[in-house]
Amino acid sequence: MHEVSIQLQIATRSYPLTVEESESVHVIKAAELINQKLKELGEIYSGRDIQDLFAMSALQIATQLIHLEQNSTGFYDQINDRFSKMETLIDSALTGT
């Protein structure tokens, strides 16, 4: 794999990182998402300490991730159930039972 150097700006700080080239777009989008959440929460909770805004942003993003994971797990479970039913039907058709 090929590594690239990127410079991220999150809130008021700059973070130089070295990441896999294939991951760089995702890392940049993640930083943009964090900055967007900080901006949104800063407008709602003006005067709050930046650490509070980071904590609330992390909580919102983590909650969204958990929801996505649960939904995808349920989706894959449904697909596996359907494949099992199809397999049973095919076996029945092939054996004539």
Contact 59, 45 (CB under 8 A): no
Q: How far apart are CA 59 and CA 6, in angstroms?
A: 26
Write down the pLDDT at residue 5: 96
Q: What is the pLDDT of residue 71?
A: 79
User: What pLDDT score does 97 carry?
Assistant: 62
Cα atoms in the 13 Å half-sphere on the side-chain side of 92: 7
Beta strands in 1-97 (DSSP E): 3-10, 13-20
pTM of the shown model: 0.70
Q: What domain range is 53 assigned to?
A: 3-95
pLDDT 10s per residue in the chain (97 long)? 799 999 999 999 999 999 999 999 999 999 999 999 999 999 999 888 999 999 999 999 999 999 888 877 777 777 888 888 888 888 788 887 6
How many structural domains does the chain have?
1
